[in-house]
Amino acid sequence: MSRPFHEFPKSQIFLGRYMTGMKTIGSTFIRWQAGWFWLALLIVAAAWLTTLQTDIGAANDQTPDTTGLVGPLMDDSAEFVVAWHTWGVTHPPAYPLLNFLGNVITHLLRILPISPVTAANLVSFGSGLVALALLGRLVAPRSGAAAAAVLLPAFGGLVWLYSNVAEVYAFGLLLGTASLTLALAVGRRPQRPLALAFGLLFGLTVGHHRTLLALTPALAVALWPARRLGWQVWVGAAALAVSSLAVYAYLPLAALSGSPWIYGRSPTTWPGFLDAVLAREYEAQLLPPHTFPAIIAALGGRFYFLAQEMTWPGLLLGIIGLGAALSQPHTRRLAIILGLTAAGYFLAPVGQYLLIGTHMLIMVASFALSASFALGIMAWGRRYPFVVPLGLLLALAVAGNAWMSHRPWVTSYTKDPLGRQMIAAMVAVTAVDPAPTLVETWGPRYFAFAYGKWVSGDLPEVELLDARADLRGLEMLSRRPQTLYTTQDMLYVTAPDVWATRLGGAVALESAGDGLVAVRQHPRLAPVTAQRGAVEIAIHAAHGWREKNGDARLTITWQAITQPTADYHIFVHLTDRPDIAHPDDIVAQGDRQHPVYGFYPTSRWTAGELVRDDYRIALPAKHRPLRAFVGLYTIASDGAFINHLRQEVIIHSRPLSLSKGGVGFDKLNRQGVNGYVRK
C-alpha cells in the first residue's frame, strides 16, 4: 500500500520534483534536438566568417612555437591561393585532388563580387563546415548531442585557422571524417558497392595527406563486420585505393598547360614527378623517437599540443565522454573506434616534427575526442534525458572559452596586412621602373608578390625571381639590370656581401618603399646642395604621414655631403608636443643602427650619394603625433651619445602622393627639404 504524499520527507519530495523537472527539460530538448545541430553549424559558420581571410598575407608567425616542433603556420597558405587561380602545382605531396578541385571551385566563385583570396579561402571554409557536419552525424545522427560534436572542436586554434585560409588541412579533415563515416556504414551494412567506394575514398584520403594512415586501426575495426564480403571484394577495394593515384596525372597536365606555378622540378620528368608522389623532401622527418626517454617526452609533447588545440577543459570533456561511452554497451564499439582514431595521433611512429609540425593529426584527435564527448552524453542521455542538454551547455561554454582564447591568435594571421602593403609598395616602384626585377626566396613574401603578378594583376610587368637562399637563382636572369629589388627580410637571409659576390662588385642599397630594398650596382648620385661643413650627411628630402591603420610612416632621403668617415646611427622620435624636452615627450620611436633597415652603414657611402630610408612605426593608442625629430648620432668610447644632425619632420594626415598631387618615390628623392623638413 502506498504512503500518503504528506508522509514523505521534504527532501524526497524536493528530489522527486527536481528529477521530474529535469526529465521534462530533457524531453522538451529531445523534441527540438535536430534543430540544435543545424543551429550549432550556423553559429560556427557565422563565427568563422568574421575571421575569414579576405586579402593576401605575407607575415611570418606572430607567435612562433618555443619548442621548435610546430612549423610556421602560414608559410604555405598564399601558395595555395596562387595555385588555385593558375592551375598550379604545390609542394609535395602536391595535393593533386585538392589543387584540381580548388581551381574548379575558385574559378566558379570568382563570378561573385569577392576577392581572389576570399574565393580560395571559401574552399577551406566549406570543407571545414562539411567535416563538422559529418562528425556530428557520425556519432549522433538523431540526437542533439550532434551539436556538441560540432561546437567542441570548431574553435580549436588549428581547426579554426585552417578553415579560414587556403590550406590542405580542412580538406584533410573532410576526407578523414568521410572515410570513417563510410567505414562505419560498410560495417553496419556490408555491401560490395560501399566497400569498393571505401577503397577509393581511403586511397584519396591517404594520397592527400600521408599522416592520415594513422586512421588505419580505427578503420579496420569499423570495417571488421564486413569481412564476410569475401577477399575478392577487398582486393578490389585495395586496387581502387591504388588506382586513386591516377589523380597525380594533374601534375604533368598542369605543367604542360603552361601554368606559371610549378613547385620544384618539372613533373613532366620522372624525377620531378616522383619528388611529388613520394614526398622525398620529408624523408628525414620519418624517423620516430626510439629511446624510452624520447618516447615518453614525445607522448607528453603530443598531449600538450592537443590540449593547446582543444583547451584543457575541452580535452577533459573529451576524455570523460570517451569513458562514458565505453561504459555503455550500445555505444562501446563506436567509442573504441573513436579512441583508436585519437590514439593514432599519440602512437604514430613518425618523427615528432613531422607529426606536430604538419598539424593534421592534432586536428583529427580533436575531432575524435569531441565526437567521444557527444557519444558519451548521448549514451547516458538514454537513462537521464537531462544529460544531453547539460552536455550541450558544457560544450557551448568550452567553445565560448576557446573562441575568446583563440580569436586574437587567429585574426593575427587572417587579418595580416603585410602582403597588401608589400604589393602596394611594389606598385609604387613600377611607376618609376616599368619592368623591375624582384628577387625573393620561396616563402610567404614570394607568394604575396606572385599573387600580385598572376592573380590580382597588380604587378603584371614585374619579373619575379626565386633566387634561393644563396642567390644562385640570379644565374637564371636573361638580363641583369643595374637595379634589383628585394625585401628587407631577404637581406637577413642573404647579407649585402653575398649580393656583392654574386653581382661581381660592391653594391649600393636604399629603400625602394615600405619593406623594399633597391640593390644597385652603382650608387645614385646627385649634386651636393647642402653646405659643406662638419656634417658629413644631410637630409635631402623627407615626408611623414599617418596611415589609416594608425601607423606612422616616414620617408627620408639622406645625402652624403662628403665621404662619411663614421658609421652614424639614426634616431626617429615622434611626439605630440612642439618639441622634445624630456624622454616622456616621445610617444614612439624607430631608431636604427644603420640606414636601409639596418643593412647599409654610412661608412660605405660615397660623396653625393642619395639613400632613401623608409620607416613604419606603430603608434600607441590615442596618440596622434604631430612631428618627428630625425637625426644622426654616434656613441663615444665612454658611452656618451653625440648628436650630429637633428631636424624636424611634420607628420601629415595623408601621404605625399595624395597631399602633393601624386609624387612617386623617385620624385621624392629629388625633392628639396623646403616644405617637408624644418631645421
Q: Can the peptide bond before residue 252 be classed as cis, meaning omega within 30 degrees of 0?
A: no
Look up the pTM and report it. 0.88
The C-alpha cell that represents 570 in the structure block: 639614426
Rg (CA), the chain: 31
| Residue 490: Cβ within 10 Å count | 23
**The pLDDT value given to residue 13:** 45
The set of residues, in sequence order, having a beta carbon less than 8 Å from that of 105 and lying 6+ positions away, is 84, 119, 122, 123, 126
**The pLDDT value given to residue 183:** 97
| Residue 679: Cβ within 10 Å count | 8
Name residue 218's beta-bridge partners: none
Nearest-angstrom CA–CA distance, 57 and 451: 10
Q: How far is CA 330 from CA 136, 382, 616, in A?
A: 18, 11, 62
**The pLDDT value given to residue 656:** 65
The set of residues, in sequence order, having a beta carbon less than 8 Å from that of 32 and lying 6+ positions away, is 144
Residues of the chain with pLDDT under 50: 1-2, 5-6, 8, 10, 13-15, 18-19, 22, 25-26, 29, 658-679
Name residue 644's beta-bridge partners: none
**The pLDDT value given to residue 675:** 33
Place of cell 580542412: 170
**The pLDDT value given to residue 668:** 44
What's the pLDDT tens digit per position in 180-192?
999 999 999 999 9
**The pLDDT value given to residue 667:** 46
Helices 192-208 & 216-223, crossing angle to 10 degrees? Answer: 180
The C-alpha cell that represents 263 in the structure block: 613547385
**The pLDDT value given to residue 5:** 42
What's the pLDDT tens digit per position in 525-549?
999 876 655 678 999 999 999 988 8
| Residue 465: Cβ within 10 Å count | 19
Q: What is the 3-state secondary structure (H, E, C) of 62-109?
A: CCCCCCCCCCCCCCCHHHHHHHHHHCCECCCCCCHHHHHHHHHHHHHH
